[in-house]
Chains A and B, each alone.
Chain A
């Protein structure tokens, strides 16, 4: 069976990889968007935190025998706690300054994290075995789907929509949205805004680490896995705009799929297709697909 002259198995598997990448873009750009909404900083360390999420899972498994399912919970908690610490000790001092300082500080932090892991584990990738429960695959008729890859998409989407639900439909989310609009008034109404900010940063970072654990069995765990990804995620954020949570999720998924399709038809362009789309969006709709003018 062929689709547009491409064997359907190849077509399907590239599309699946596109969908997986898209889920990672969605989780990461979602985290960037909620952090930006409340803290007004772009978290450059997001990629490094994703990498640390994967490494914590790998270290937990190889050194302490902690299995995948525990790591899926443990790693975001640990990396998120580090995020909370960073917010309390450093980021907090920058809120009154130009937004750009937040970007520069988190860039410095990203260099530190990446450097430490490179010194400890080198640049070659470590492999992380797929958990027993999710090994093997199913034949869908037109393609063979490894179960783990399907699981990644399902888990990532569940977390994305859970986050969307929490922000749009719960009381905590209402505080968060109000804090994004006008922190002074929210504070005046008796809500602990600094705590809310700390929690938001920690949650955004934990999302990145969660994506890292999901990624560990799909890709090699290596210190540079986050830095290349984060630049693409920045382009995703520029394309989607950071105004809407659902917008971030849809843009991330859509761009992942387009990247997958590009890999089928013209592989060399797949690394830059997202940047090309960014250029087109900037020319046609500078505020981004879902953005308010920034």
Chain B
């Protein structure tokens, strides 16, 4: 039940994307750029996660490991080795891809509920490494990461310049995900999600496709994490904690599982909520996140974008 089943939406989609792109370009002049950058980083993170859950049907409960690891690697490269920011982001992305390959090889040996538990356990292992290894700064995190000069030329300590880099990274990631979903590879992933035994009987090497999807999702999550480290000049334990793995599930679910824009919307809502609520309700934020989770699962499984699509579709038919 994706948006592409209906011709009308296919024609409307480029228009929508074009409008969103323009909004993205002018947004930093209307809204606080750091806030926007946070939404874009988490939006990319959630889109990457959605590629796996929404289109391949694999629930990873350990995606924080990729976000966090890439953040640490990018931070070390930029701060301790003095490389330029774009190399830092690429390095972080590569590290996440390699880690994703390791997780993937292990986790795809089991399916369903076990897959989720294995990814969670592996991510917890990464968390303990980050906690105990000196290079990551333990509880303090990796502090004082400089934003540096993009290609050695553009000074990123300027928030607007930094914003356009984040926006560019998001667009690249989003484009890769969009292309993947609409490629023959993406169609095979959907086939595996819908009916794995049938995909096997059609001669597809299911394990290989799942692994590739996992690595791609991990790499893109890493790209988001590395970029986020540059924005906040900090890589910390929060990003590898299992709470973060849960948060990305929540963003995706709230926005709309298996919709292309849903995760971005979900990330926007959750990030806004957290920054709004943080000073007002303190530790009740966790409770509120939990309540949203429960409501989404019980009453609202299509998510915001999914519900909107269903509404438009109904209006279109009548």
B150: CB under 8 A from chain A? Answer: no
B124 near A110: Cβ-Cβ < 8 Å: no
Residues of A within 8 A of B253 (CB): 104
B residues 110-136 with Cβ under 8 Å of A? 110-114, 116-118, 120-122, 124-125, 128-129, 132
Q: Which of B120, B125, B289, B297 contacts A234 (CB 8 A)?
A: B120
Q: Which of B61, B113, B298 contacts A93 (CB 8 A)?
A: B298
Give A156 Cβ to nearest chain B Cβ, in Å: 22
Q: How far is the CA of A36 from the CA of B114 in the complex (A)?
A: 11
Q: Which residues of B contact A (CB under 8 A)?
A: 59, 61, 106, 109-114, 116-118, 120-122, 124-125, 128-129, 132, 242, 246, 249, 253, 282-294, 296-298, 301
B117 near A119: Cβ-Cβ < 8 Å: no
Residues of A within 8 A of B122 (CB): 275, 279
Given A101-B301, A103-B59, A275-B125, A115 and B113 contact (CB-CB distance below 8 Å): no
Residues of B within 8 A of A174 (CB): none
Q: How far is the CA of A119 from the CA of B114 in the complex (A)?
A: 32
9 nearest A-B pairs in the assembled complex, by CB-CB distance: A108-B293, A111-B290, A115-B286, A115-B287, A112-B290, A286-B109, A235-B121, A234-B117, A108-B294
B298 near A90: Cβ-Cβ < 8 Å: yes
Q: How far is the CA of A101 from the CA of B106 in the complex (A)?
A: 23
B110 near A282: Cβ-Cβ < 8 Å: yes
Tally of contact residues, A, Cβ under 8 A: 44
Q: How far is the CA of A107 from the CA of B120 in the complex (A)?
A: 12
A294: CB under 8 A from chain B? Answer: yes
Can you pick out 24 interface pairs between chain A and chain B where the beta carbons lie within 8 Å of each other? A36-B113, A100-B112, A100-B116, A104-B249, A104-B297, A105-B298, A107-B249, A108-B289, A110-B290, A112-B286, A115-B285, A115-B290, A119-B284, A232-B124, A234-B121, A235-B124, A237-B117, A238-B118, A275-B124, A278-B121, A282-B109, A283-B106, A286-B110, A294-B111
B249 near A99: Cβ-Cβ < 8 Å: no
Nearest to B122 among chain A residues (CB) is A275
Interface string of A63-104 (1 = CB under 8 A from B): 000000000000000000000000000100110010111011
Interface centre among B110, B113, B289, B296 (most CB of A within 10 A): B113
Interface centre among A90, A278, A283 (most CB of B within 10 A): A278
Nearest to A235 among chain B residues (CB) is B121
Residues of B within 8 A of A286 (CB): 109-110
B289 near A111: Cβ-Cβ < 8 Å: yes
Q: Which of B106, B285, B290 contacts A282 (CB 8 A)?
A: B106
Q: How far is the CA of A97 from the CA of B304 in the complex (A)?
A: 20
Residues of A within 8 A of B120 (CB): 231, 234
Residues of B within 8 A of A287 (CB): 110
Q: How far is the CA of A238 from the CA of B125 in the complex (A)?
A: 15
Q: How far is the CA of A104 from the CA of B286 in the complex (A)?
A: 15
Q: How far is the CA of A90 from the CA of B298 in the complex (A)?
A: 7
Given A118-B283, A119-B283, A42 and B110 contact (CB-CB distance below 8 Å): no
Residues of A within 8 A of B113 (CB): 36, 41-42, 99-100, 103, 294
Nearest to B245 among chain A residues (CB) is A107
Interface centre among A100, A109, A114, A272 (most CB of B within 10 A): A100
Given contacts A42-B116, A42-B117, A108-B290, 8 further A-B contacts (CB under 8 A): A103-B61, A103-B113, A108-B294, A111-B293, A112-B294, A115-B289, A118-B283, A119-B282
Nearest to A105 among chain B residues (CB) is B297
Q: How far is the CA of A231 from the CA of B123 in the complex (A)?
A: 10
Q: How far is the CA of A109 from the CA of B117 in the complex (A)?
A: 17
A268: CB under 8 A from chain B? Answer: yes
Interface centre among B117, B128, B129, B284 (most CB of A within 10 A): B117
A155: CB under 8 A from chain B? Answer: no
A115 near B284: Cβ-Cβ < 8 Å: yes
A191: CB under 8 A from chain B? Answer: no
Q: Which of A103, A111, A282 contacts B287 (CB 8 A)?
A: A111
Nearest to B116 among chain A residues (CB) is A103
Q: Which of B121, B282, B288 contacts A231 (CB 8 A)?
A: B121
A116 near B291: Cβ-Cβ < 8 Å: no
Residues of B within 8 A of A278 (CB): 118, 121
A134: CB under 8 A from chain B? Answer: no
Give A257 Cβ to nearest chain B Cβ, in Å: 19
Give A83 Cβ to nearest chain B Cβ, in Å: 15
A271: CB under 8 A from chain B? Answer: yes
Interface string of A197-236 (1 = CB under 8 A from B): 0000000000000000000000000000001000110110
B283 near A115: Cβ-Cβ < 8 Å: yes
A109 near B118: Cβ-Cβ < 8 Å: no
Residues of A within 8 A of B289 (CB): 108, 111, 115
Interface centre among B61, B121, B253 (most CB of A within 10 A): B121
A residues 107-136 with Cβ under 8 Å of B? 107-116, 118-119
Residues of A within 8 A of B285 (CB): 115
Nearest to A40 among chain B residues (CB) is B113
Q: How far is the CA of A42 from the CA of B124 in the complex (A)?
A: 18
A119 near B287: Cβ-Cβ < 8 Å: yes
Residues of A within 8 A of B292 (CB): 108
Q: How far is the CA of A29 from the CA of B144 in the complex (A)?
A: 42
Residues of B within 8 A of A109 (CB): 290, 294
Residues of B within 8 A of A231 (CB): 120-121, 124, 242
Residues of A within 8 A of B106 (CB): 279, 282-283
B117 near A238: Cβ-Cβ < 8 Å: yes
Residues of A within 8 A of B114 (CB): 238, 294
